[in-house]
Amino acid sequence: MQIHALHPHFAVEVTGLDLAAPLDAPMLEALHDAFLDHAVLLFRGQTLGPAAQARLATRLAALEAPLLDRRSLLRPPALRVVSGIPEGELPPGPAWHADHSHMAEPALACLAHAHAHARAGEGAEIAFADQRAALGLLPTGLRRRAEELRAEHRHGPDRAEHPVVRSHPLTGDPALFVSPGFTRRILNLPAGESERLLATLFAAATAPEVTWRHAWQPGDLLLWDNRVVLHTGAPAPALQRVRIEGDRPLGLRAAEMPWVVAG
């Protein structure tokens, strides 16, 4: 397995690995380490079907659960794997978003695979934005303020409240956690101030220097960490999607003092 950088901050291409073949424990752990380090992994020329995709996601979830358990006093929720995600769960158009952030437990990770025999559609692409790097674009005072705030995420009848800056449960990396697709308002702020602040945060979250775009080709498979990247919803032909559920966002202070949340 070899790793090739696709962007200065995140996103790599992984070569020399056939995901349809059985992966031993050391290889799976190396893959998981790369996933935590780089947030977006691209594999080309993959032929695995829906069942094999679900098996891969299930094995990654099996690695995540005990690690989450050691990071806090809270017992993590069961990490479910969901295949065949309905398009109705996505925001309209190519809006930037993190999957399922309108729920109390947004997706932990997502996998998308363009069928190996599908013909690439003109203009079919997906974009990602590293929210760890986006947070670093904010002035120090604004960043400290954002770390104390919470926001409402909503899609249809579903709504949830999350910290504006979340801590990754395994790496501890702080990242912005707002998106134009689902975040509607900053809590406990007047409407006008909330709109202005969100506009500033969205600009940082989707700034060109923290984004990477990928033009789909048949056989491409992308795995990404939904906790630290946003993505757009532009589909590829015959795209198959799998999602790992079950990660509740925590703010920086809650991550440092998990007994407060437990209490």
Q: Give the mean model confidence (pLDDT) for residues 218-238.
A: 87
Tokens of 208: 């060109």
Q: What is the mean pLDDT of the chain?
A: 87
Residue 242 pLDDT > 80: yes
Residue 90 pLDDT > 60: no
146 touches 165 (CB < 8 A): yes
- C-alpha 51, offset from chain centre: 22
For the chain, domains (ranges, CATH) are 2-262 (3.60.130.10)
Total-model pTM:
0.89
Residue 7 pLDDT > 90: yes
- Residue that is written with structure tokens 């992308």 in the block: 222
CA 112, 4, 134, 37: dihedral to nearest 10 degrees?
80
Which of the four pLDDT bands, split at 50, 70 and 90, describes residue 261?
very low
| Tens digit of each residue's pLDDT (9 = 90 or more) over 109-151 | 999 999 876 565 555 889 999 999 999 999 999 999 999 999 9
Which of 124, 84, 111, 93 shows the shortest CA–CA distance to 218?
124
Report the distance separating Cα 231 and Cα 218, nearest Å: 20
Residue 4 pLDDT > 80: yes
Q: Give the mean model confidence (pLDDT) for residues 98-111.
A: 94
Angle separating helix axes 25-38 and 50-71, nearest 10 degrees:
70
Q: What percent of the chain has pLDDT over 70?
A: 83
Report the distance separating Cα 69 and Cα 135, nearest Å: 26
Tokens of 254: 């809650």
Task: Give the single-character DSSP code of 39.
Answer: S
